């Protein structure tokens, strides 16, 4: 790439990661083309509408469309021709055996390669197993059709894994703890450092404090390692919660006491009905498969997954042990998304629990601030589900309240009032959102996790 050429960026795939990345770079002052093959989604974004819920992103989209620095297209050729840094953010869903399906990345690499006529830096941001970047580079090079010299001189591949949290994606983009950059051509450091310079200036940080340059394989492994470790912390504290239940201890006090140790930290030491979403379960399964492929015994990670799977049945059994047969019982459900701050129900523990409750012929009054639309699309028509307008509406006439997502809004409810709505004052707090003493004082029987 000509170091004097103006930097322009194309981002392929405008989901949570892609659109956040595109708008983030645009807001830092770079010209960015967003590429989305789903024409309906592309049109929505062109019109200033975000096809998912993410805090702050609607305003940022409007701002950067208005500035002219951000544009949207479905035309891959247009994007490749008009940008010199190409960022791949397409999905890598879980295959039936747990491996990551990288076919979308491979297909995109093929199409990008067919349109390369000058040097490009291709960035793999999608989470994928180690050695994926090498495969993508082979595809890119083999599909270049218009080179005048060596194809090798036209493509550099780089891995910059994403560490964005749904519901906090913009905050994480503009306030990263680290940015990992994996490359095999270290001559690109200046160019890649340049695109992050406006961000570092805003943060008041030096490059060495945030940017980590490493080889490609190490960058690929770093994302899977991070998510596997976070999943391990969650399953670990949930096993401690099981022990606390047996011996009459309070896992929240235990988690607090160890979390204050800086060697451990309090993040992700949160007992409950388990982890879900589009990242942790998928990445954990994919990393286990990476271990198998490379003859590494990752059996402890398999146990992390098994512990997480047990959360669903443990919680349902807790409800059954108190209520008995759930047939024709009415249950109020607070929360459907896999965590607060998002409408994402992918692999949500709440959805799995609700699905099991329907099989057990329970009647449900469900509420979620954001995820009702996605839930309706997932669950289809059911005469066992009432969609509540408010958290309190979900409690009218119920035999128990089930807290499945720890939305902060639920803590604002007046339980003196709710006590008059419910048939039976029982609450099964699957996220340990509430103070047991507070609810007991309001006349409720409280059942938490590990307390």
Burial of 147 (0-12, 13-18, 19+ CB in 10 A): middle
Burial of 190 (0-12, 13-18, 19+ CB in 10 A): exposed
**Cα separation of 36 and 59, whole Å?**
20
Which residues share a beta bridge with 120?
Answer: 155
Q: Choose, from 81, 89, 194, 279, the residue flagged as catalytic.
A: 279
Which tokens in the block code for residue 444? Answer: 């409720």
End-to-end CA distance of the chain: 59
Handedness of CA 245, 250, 255, 257 (dihedral sign): negative
Query: Most distant CA pair in the chain: distance in Å?
Result: 79
User: How do beta strands 426-429 and 445-447 pair?
Assistant: parallel
**Cα separation of 448 and 379, whole Å?**
27
**Cα separation of 172 and 299, whole Å?**
32
Residue positions counted in the chain: 451
Evaluate whether 163 touches 224 at the Cβ level (below 8 Å): no
By three-state DSSP, how is residue 447 classified?
strand
DSSP class of residue 72? E
Which tokens in the block code for residue 108? Answer: 């995109």
Evaluate whether 367 touches 390 at the Cβ level (below 8 Å): yes
C-alpha 231: how far from chain center: 13
What CA dihedral angle connects 69, 136, 107 and 294, to 10 degrees?
-130
Is position 89 annotated as part of the catalytic site? no
Strands of 238-348, DSSP E = 330-334
**Cα separation of 83 and 37, whole Å?**
17
Q: Taking each helix axis from N to C terminus, what angle separates 16-27 and 57-67, rounded to the nearest 10 degrees? A: 50
Q: How many CB atoms lie within 10 A of CB 291?
A: 17
User: How do beta strands 179-183 and 155-159 pair?
Assistant: antiparallel
Catalytic residues: 279
């Amino acid at each position: 790439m000509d170091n004097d050429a103006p930097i322009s960026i194309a981002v392929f795939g405008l989901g949570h990661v892609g659109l956040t990345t595109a708008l983030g770079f645009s807001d830092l002052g770079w010209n960015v083309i967003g590429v989305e093959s789903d024409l309906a989604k592309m049109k929505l974004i062109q019109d200033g509408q975000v096809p998912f819920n993410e805090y702050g992103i609607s305003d940022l989209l409007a701002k950067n469309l208005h500035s002219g620095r951000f544009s949207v297209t479905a035309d891959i050729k247009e994007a490749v021709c008009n940008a010199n840094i190409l960022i791949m953010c397409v999905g890598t869903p879980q295959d039936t055996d747990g491996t990551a399906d990288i076919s979308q990345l491979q297909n995109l690499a093929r199409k990008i390669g067919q349109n390369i006529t000058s040097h490009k830096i291709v960035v793999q941001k999608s989470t994928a197993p180690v050695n994926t970047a090498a495969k993508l580079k082979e595809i890119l090079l083999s599909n270049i059709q218009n080179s005048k010299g060596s194809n090798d001189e036209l493509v550099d591949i780089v891995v910059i894994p994403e560490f964005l949290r749904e519901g906090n994606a913009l905050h994480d983009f503009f306030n990263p703890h680290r940015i990992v950059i994996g490359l095999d051509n270290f001559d690109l450091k200046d160019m890649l450092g340049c695109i992050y310079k406006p961000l570092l200036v805003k943060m008041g940080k030096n490059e060495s404090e945030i940017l980590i340059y490493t080889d490609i394989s190490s960058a690929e492994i770093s994302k899977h390692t991070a998510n596997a470790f976070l999943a391990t912390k969650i399953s670990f504290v949930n096993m401690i919660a099981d022990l606390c239940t047996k011996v009459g201890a309070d896992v929240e006090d235990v988690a607090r006491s160890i979390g204050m140790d800086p060697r451990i930290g309090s993040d992700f030491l949160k007992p409950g009905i388990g982890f879900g979403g589009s990242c942790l379960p998928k990445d954990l399964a994919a990393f286990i498969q990476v271990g198998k492929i490379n003859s590494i015994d990752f059996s402890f990670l398999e146990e992390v997954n098994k512990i997480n799977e047990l959360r669903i049945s443990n919680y349902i059994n807790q409800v059954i042990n108190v209520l008995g047969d759930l047939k024709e019982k009415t249950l109020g459900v607070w929360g459907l998304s896999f965590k607060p701050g998002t409408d994402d129900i992918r692999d949500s523990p709440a959805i799995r629990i609700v699905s099991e409750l329907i099989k057990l012929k329970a009647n449900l009054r469900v509420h979620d601030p954001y995820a009702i639309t996605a839930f309706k699309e997932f669950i289809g028509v059911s005469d066992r589900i009432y969609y509540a307008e408010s958290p309190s509406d979900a409690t009218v006439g119920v035999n128990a309240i089930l807290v499945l997502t720890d939305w902060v809004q639920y803590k604002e409810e007046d339980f003196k009032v709710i006590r008059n709505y419910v048939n039976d004052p029982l609450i099964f707090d699957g996220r340990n959102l509430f103070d047991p003493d507070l609810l007991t004082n309001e006349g409720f029987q409280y059942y938490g996790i590990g307390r």
